[in-house]
Amino acid sequence: MSDKENKIRVLPEEITNKIAAGEVVERPASVVKELIENSIDAGAKRITIRLSASGLRLIEVIDDGIGMSEQDAILAIERHATSKITSAKDLEAIHTFGFRGEALSSISAVSQFVLTTKRLQDNTGTQIVVNGGILKSVSSVGSPQGTKISVNRLFFNTPVRLKFLKGLTTELSHCIDIVQKYALAHEDVGFKLFHNDKLLFDIPPGMNLYNRISLIWGKSTVSEMLHIKPVTHNLFSNESEVMPITIYGYVGLPSLTRSHRSHQLFFVNKRPVSSRTLQYSLEEAYRNLVMVGRYPVAILFIELPPQWVDVNIHPTKKEIKFRDERIISKHIVTTLRNQLSLIPGQKHYDSPQITPQITEKQQPVPAVSAYSNIDTSSTFIDNSDIEAIPKSTNDSVENEPVESQQKTITEDTHIFFNTDRDKTHISSNEKQAQEEQPSLLPHPIFSEFVPGEEIPIQVFDSYLVLPEKDRILIIDQHALHERLNFEQLKKELQEKDFVFQQLVIPILIEVPSNYFKILEDKKEIFQKIGIDIEPFGENTFQITSICELYDEGKIKDIVFELLEEMVQGDLFEKENYFESLLSIATKACKKSVKAGDKLEPMERLYLIKGFKSLTPPYTCPHGRPILIELTLQQMEKSFRRRQ
């Protein structure tokens, strides 16, 4: 067989280094993480991080650790060269952050890399220059004790990697997030972070965890957190071995929640990790204490013998696996629940039905105030066909059966539908949409109005039932009203036809450092969705005015939720990102009826009138369906009238 027919070959070292770099170095934040871990392993007490252009132009990490000799410095940039382990047995009990010997080799393969280091006992330091994985020079230089690593022009020789990075603001946010996590975990180490020569934060060594959380997340957040003091317990695993475990940190009160899990930080032996086991355990401890769709806030530390946890799963060492996940999860849940049970007056949410049921003794929701904002200009029902309806001043109608209410309204107020005129309101686009989704649309032309049939029935104080000729529509009143508010908000904001309501007392918001740059750069986006926000010193912003449709009490939570959505990075790559932001902002709208609100007949009619103006898809702004359909054919099959 000739050499030309041989297809398998050993790759050159230059290519294998770039492949390995792709596993370890995903973005600038990956470089920051690896270099900080090396500094901590070297015993550093002060670490300074300097970034330029969010780390794409320069990442520089300076520490006062033990430093390296010239020979060690040269070996450090070789693949699988490390001082952390010496045998395979060491992998079963890893005490350091690094151990794979891949970080510096991978980083130097995709950057212009300069390492300067000096030990205390050496007269001069050593400087090594590597360009794209190729060693350029080794020289002696004057240097203080410790190590300085400069990473210039990251991914300069792999331009395709640059295309997968997000915007500069997002990449900076990820870098800040990494530094903050290690700053929280190491109280004995000081951290300074600069970006474009601007100091972002300075955490001195010895600052306790409470003050570090206060500096990073804000005083208002840490004031609503519960201190879990470190207590060690001996657990017995399935293997009949004793496992000492210590849990400590800070967890939020049940009133402190977020719409994302971004404020759930877990550390195992002070290593920031991602673990479904820990995530589940935390949320299980808060079950029935927080509302559905909200997530608790926590900074949780777990200390256990290194042989009980495997960190050698992925090159980034972020994912871990416990030897006995069940017993660890159970212990975390028990520990947190015991602490949370000591908080007096906690509200429990025993079911997804968050809003309590409204009793008949409570006053009904005023029809005009609740629905006066619905845009009905394009509905199938003409406003001129509905005459003024006098508001009842007693509860006689409220206590009558539904049929009696409908009869009273139709006889006294002369509500009727002009179906001939309705035909002219149906555009060609609406007809096409109705043909494409006949099972979800109201009939294009509603049947002739029969007194008592068009007022929808309300069941369980949450759903509207609308009978039609050959089907029944069951509509979620809360989801429908949210959608109507969303459509109105979108229309007013897009047409800039809204009024800013000046706040008498501005709302102050403390944001974490990784949110600060995003909020500073995206102020115009917030203004477009009706929130006027401006800096107020350090990491604090103030909201000075809001769209008149917003509820002032909800706006602070919505700003945090919008920031959490923006920090994901790919939001602004979406063609309809504005609608994505609006769907979140809708949660701050006033006047959305809830499940459990008892509605008067005219309020139900207004909701149905708004519903008929909508176009598919029939969902609320957050993707939940507005209606379900029960057809005559389905009912006949259920009653075995047809096969």
Confidence tier at 84 by pLDDT (50, 70, 90): low
Q: How far apart are CA 572 and CA 260, in angstroms?
A: 18
Which of the two residues, 293 and 412, has the higher pLDDT score? 293
pLDDT given at position 86: 55
Question: In this predicted model, what pLDDT tens digit does every residue of 589-629 receive, in sequence order?
Answer: 766 788 889 998 888 888 888 888 888 878 888 788 999 99
Confidence tier at 61 by pLDDT (50, 70, 90): very high
pLDDT given at position 321: 82
- Give φ, ψ of 424 to 5 degrees: -75, -15
Question: In this predicted model, what pLDDT tens digit does every residue of 477-511 receive, in sequence order?
Answer: 999 998 888 888 888 877 777 778 888 889 988 88
Task: Give 277's strand partners.
Answer: none
3-state secondary structure of 381: coil
> With contact defined as beta carbons under 8 Å apart, do 151 and 31 qualify?
yes
Residue 208 has pLDDT above 70, yes or no: yes
pLDDT given at position 95: 62
Confidence tier at 380 by pLDDT (50, 70, 90): very low
Residue 405 has pLDDT above 60, yes or no: no
CATH topology for 500-548+550-588 is Ribosomal Protein S8; Chain: A, domain 1 (3.30.1370)
In the chain, where the domains are located: 13-207, 212-340, 367-481+594-638, 500-548+550-588
Question: In this predicted model, what pLDDT tens digit does every residue of 527-564 receive, in sequence order?
Answer: 888 899 998 877 889 999 988 878 888 888 888 888 88
Question: In this predicted model, what pLDDT tens digit does every residue of 160-186 receive, in sequence order?
Answer: 888 888 888 888 989 999 999 999 999
Q: How far apart are CA 68 and CA 41, in angstroms?
A: 12
Residue 65 has pLDDT above 90, yes or no: yes
Residue 423 has pLDDT above 90, yes or no: no
CATH match for 13-207 among 3.30.565.10, 3.30.470.10, 3.40.50.2000, 3.30.1300.10: 3.30.565.10
pLDDT given at position 537: 79
Please identify which residue in the block is written with the tokens 């009143």.
477
Confidence tier at 120 by pLDDT (50, 70, 90): very high
pTM of the prediction?
0.67
Question: In this predicted model, what pLDDT tens digit does every residue of 262-273 receive, in sequence order?
Answer: 899 999 999 999
Q: Which residues contact 322 (CB under 8 A, 6 or more apart)?
A: 275, 277, 308, 309, 310, 328
CATH topology for 212-340 is Ribosomal Protein S5; domain 2 (3.30.230)
pLDDT given at position 116: 95
> With contact defined as beta carbons under 8 Å apart, do 145 and 64 qualify?
yes
Please identify which residue in the block is written with the tokens 């230059």.
14
Give me the mean pLDDT over the 416-425 stretch.
Answer: 35
> With contact defined as beta carbons under 8 Å apart, do 522 and 566 qualify?
yes
Which of the two residues, 324 and 316, has the higher pLDDT score? 324
Question: In this predicted model, what pLDDT tens digit does every residue of 221-233 receive, in sequence order?
Answer: 899 999 999 988 8
Confidence tier at 114 by pLDDT (50, 70, 90): very high
Residue 250 has pLDDT above 90, yes or no: yes
Q: How far apart are CA 252 and CA 294, in angstroms?
A: 12
Q: How far apart are CA 272 and CA 277, in angstroms?
A: 14
> With contact defined as beta carbons under 8 Å apart, do 169 and 54 qualify?
yes
Q: Which CATH architecture has domain 367-481+594-638?
A: 2-Layer Sandwich (3.30)
Give me the mean pLDDT over the 25-38 stretch.
Answer: 92
pLDDT given at position 416: 31
* Triad 359, 361, 367: Cα angle to 5°: 85
Confidence tier at 80 by pLDDT (50, 70, 90): low
Confidence tier at 303 by pLDDT (50, 70, 90): very high
CB-count burial class (<10 Å; 0-12, 13-18, 19+) for 571: middle
